[in-house]
Amino acid sequence: MREGSSSGVAMTQEVLEARLESWKEIAAYLDRDVRTVQRWEKTEGLPVHRHLHDKLGSVFALRAEVDAWLSGRSLPPANGLRLDPEEERNGQPGRGAGEEEAVAPAELQPEGMEPGLAISPVQRVSRRSWPGLLVLWSLLGILILAGAWTLVRRLGRSRPGPAVAVLPFVNLGEEKNQEFFSDGFAEELITQLGQQPGEGARVVALRSALGYRNTTKRPRQIARELGVDYLLEGTVRRVGDRVRVTAHLVRGYDETHIWDHSYDRDVRDVLVLQRDVADAIAGGINLRLDPGRAHPRSVKPEAYATYLKGRFFWNKRTPQDLYKALEQFQLAARLDPSFAPTHVGIADCYALLGSAEMGAMAPKEAMPLAKQAVTAALKLDPALAEAHASLGHIRLIYEWDWDGAEEAFRRAIELNPGYATAHQWYALYLNARGRSEDALEELRKAEALDPLSPAVKSAVAEAHYFARRYGEAAAASQKALELDPNFILGYLNLGRALEMQGRFDEAITALRQGWELSGRAPGMTLFLGHAYAAKGEHRKAEEMLELLRHPPKSGGQPPYVPALFLAGIQGGLGDREGELQSLQKALDERCEYLIYLEREPMADPIRKDPRFKALLKAVRP
């Protein structure tokens, strides 16, 4: 088993020590100018090393040594975190050039006091000055405390964790169509790097990074677009039961290569390899990963490859691809039943297929299967963040176990703060609970982790919609569509926000475009029909209602149409009795959209009806 040459190992060891490679980097790390840190080396023992047999002034420092030196020295702030000019020149905080300690002149020395001893200012103050002096000192104390608090807050956020993007690894294998393996390797690295205690670094999700596959953009531009400090690039070559990986860590702003390394392993040890690469990256950028991470075990190569195929299809998020993903996950579970992530994949497929958005399976058929799979995953690995997030999702949208859902989401985020989907699903819970600002805060975290995801932007639009900020909802929807002009939820959220603003023609245009892109899916049919009804085009609204009652078959099977979809158009047409009957049926179906009904503006006309209030109480006791 080989992991590069001896010189490569030595280089990696240096990277793990996290070197600062120049006076400029040392100065930037300490937030001072170069002259100051050079002076500190001479006068205060700042640990700086020089390259042997190299040009004069070629230096480096180890972050661990600098941090240890820094912990024993307090840096006085001025103008943010910088010293004032006199301190820079003299090396003494708070004393100007040529300034000496205040000494009482000889003629003011009291009898018996040796010349040259300082006289306290208090000794020269008359008793009548004491009240004013006390006020002065009180004000000074308040200012000092305020300044100290400001400094603590600045120091607390002066050095946020580094931001990293793992770009899609290039597949160099001889077999074609092996991107699922290289993408799966990159996604697992992202998961490993996201497992940091507390508020650590930000690691961009694979969905945002996939847009840079085969890109010609320079690293500097990619880093700027993703808002990251470092990029990880690499290649994967799988030949039989061996897998060879090369990885290159690049600093974004100046395109400096931090390190390059290669690994050659048995494919059964691929999970251990991913952990080793993640640890090397963490060492190279001074990132502390959770020491409590479970040690990865071996997995059967054919099971792991099949699992990665499932992930590849699941990320496409269409009903057809979800069925393909489910087939791969189920096969992987048969090949290696003890691999917990496979069971999470099965759970997520069933949960999405049984969602109102997909409409491929009835909730009462899909959700118990999802719960069974995620329970199996948690028995195998109780510390698997993805499993806790999936459990929270099922508890929220099907079981209506509000406390249990929040507990699961919070546990998932605790285990892996870098898991963007956990933040996004937790925001769904917060939205349903009426906590719009908290939901937006979670979505800001998801956006930072997945900046190019139209799904996250659309979730932001939904949060504004439920808070009845329709302008902000429309703007967020436009951002989602800028990222992906074919993103159906973008048109849905844009259309319903425009409708609530009374801009019916624009709403119908947006909703009809999304309706056609979706293949005239039931969910888009609902919102388009409601917009027609709101505009007064009742005949067209009736046509949409009829499509929901008799949907065209897809793949030989009629799609699942939630009764709530019929209720929406019936309400728009003013059929209150029909609307309430359909809502009662939706309750029996356990339709997920019922969790948002209390906040849904479309339900305003029946909000005071006692039957509607009883229905809400059944969803949220």
CATH number at residue 338: 1.25.40.10
CATH number at residue 200: 3.40.50.10610
Handedness of CA 131, 134, 136, 142 (dihedral sign): negative
Tell me the DSSP string of 109-155: PPTTPPTTPPPPGGGGS-GGGHHHHHHHHHHHHHHHHHHHHHHHHHH
Distance CA 597, CA 330 (A): 35
Question: How many residues belong to the chain?
Answer: 621
Distance CA 147, CA 158 (A): 16
> For residue 588, how far is the Cα from the chain centroid?
35
Same-domain check for residues 167 and 294: yes
CB count within 10 Å of CB 607 equals 13
Same-domain check for residues 293 and 344: no
Distance CA 463, CA 600 (A): 11
Distance CA 446, CA 423 (A): 6
Per the CB < 8 A criterion, the answer to whether 497 and 470 are in contact is yes
Per the CB < 8 A criterion, the answer to whether 342 and 332 are in contact is yes
Same-domain check for residues 209 and 271: yes
Distance CA 388, CA 422 (A): 9
Same-domain check for residues 273 and 332: no
Of residues 77, 65, 68, the one with CA closest to residue 31: 77
Range of the domain at 413: 325-441
Q: 3-class DSSP state for residue 259?
A: strand
Same-domain check for residues 343 and 255: no
Cα distances (Å, whole numbers) of residue 159 to 62, 348, 394: 17, 37, 38
Same-domain check for residues 382 and 279: no
Last residue of a domain, one of 73, 100, 132: 73
Same-domain check for residues 182 and 290: yes
Handedness of CA 406, 412, 416, 420 (dihedral sign): negative
Would you say residue 291 lies in a domain?
yes
Would you say residue 237 lies in a domain?
yes
Of residues 230, 226, 277, the one with CA closest to residue 255: 230
Last residue of a domain, one of 441, 466, 491: 441
Sequence-distant (6+) residues with CB within 8 A of 468 are 500, 601
Cα distances (Å, whole numbers) of residue 124 to 118, 127, 130: 11, 10, 11
Q: How many domains does the chain have?
A: 3
Q: What is the 8-class DSSP label of residue 599?
A: T
Distance CA 247, CA 169 (A): 9
Per the CB < 8 A criterion, the answer to whether 398 and 350 are in contact is no
Query: Tokens 């639009």 — which residue?
Result: 461
* Phi, psi of 401, rounded to the nearest 5 degrees: -95, 90
Per the CB < 8 A criterion, the answer to whether 489 and 480 are in contact is yes
Same-domain check for residues 281 and 352: no
Rounded mean pLDDT for each run of 10 residues along the chain, 621 residues in total: 40 49 78 78 79 55 76 47 38 38 39 41 44 56 54 43 84 73 79 64 79 86 89 84 84 83 79 78 67 63 88 84 94 94 96 87 94 96 94 96 97 91 95 95 92 92 96 95 92 97 97 93 95 97 96 74 96 96 95 94 95 94 73
Q: Residue 555: what pLDDT?
A: 63
Same-domain check for residues 280 and 335: no
Q: Residue 525: what pLDDT?
A: 96
Would you say residue 11 lies in a domain?
yes
Distance CA 214, CA 226 (A): 16
Last residue of a domain, one of 383, 418, 441: 441
Would you say residue 418 lies in a domain?
yes
Same-domain check for residues 292 and 333: no
Same-domain check for residues 179 and 252: yes
Give this prediction's pTM.
Answer: 0.69
Would you say residue 173 lies in a domain?
yes
**What does R_g of the chain's alpha carbons equal in angstroms?**
31
Per the CB < 8 A criterion, the answer to whether 161 and 201 are in contact is yes
| 3-state SS, one letter per residue, for 384-441 | CHHHHHHHHHHHHHHHCCHHHHHHHHHHHHHHCCCCHHHHHHHHHHHHHCCCHHHHHH
Would you say residue 139 lies in a domain?
no
Q: Residue 115: what pLDDT?
A: 43
Would you say residue 306 lies in a domain?
no
Would you say residue 316 lies in a domain?
no
Same-domain check for residues 267 and 357: no
